[in-house]
Amino acid sequence: MILTIKLYTDAATRGNPGPSSAGVLIVTEVGQQQLFYKLPPTSNHHAEFLAAIKGFEAIINLYGTTETILFHSDSKIVISSIEKNYSKSYPEALATLVSLQEQCELVINRWISEKNNKGAHALALQGLHKFYSA
Q: How many domains does the chain have?
A: 1
In a domain, 100, yes or no: no
Is residue 66 included in any domain, yes or no? yes
pLDDT given for residue 133 in this prediction: 85
pLDDT confidence tier of residue 1, bands split at 50, 70 and 90:
low
Q: Please check whether residue 96 lies inside any domain of the structure.
A: no
8 occurs within a structural domain: yes
In a domain, 95, yes or no: no
Residue 98 lies in a domain: no
Instruction: Say yes or no to pLDDT of 2 above 80.
Output: no
Residue 130: φ, ψ to 5°: -65, -45
Q: How confident is the model at residue 134, as a pLDDT?
A: 58
Q: For 71-107, write each residue's pLDDT tens digit.
A: 999 999 999 999 999 999 999 999 999 999 999 999 9
Confidence of residue 28 (pLDDT cuts 50, 70, 90): very high
Q: Is residue 79 part of a domain?
A: yes
Residues 6+ apart with CB under 8 A from 54: 9, 22, 24, 35, 37, 39
Enumerate the β-bridge partners of residue 100.
Answer: none
Choose among 4, 33, 29: nearest CA to 123.
Answer: 33
Burial of 86 (0-12, 13-18, 19+ CB in 10 A): exposed
- 53: domain range? 4-90+105-132
CATH code where residue 69 lies: 3.30.420.10
Of the pLDDT bands very low, low, confident and very high (cuts 50, 70, 90), residue 3 is confident
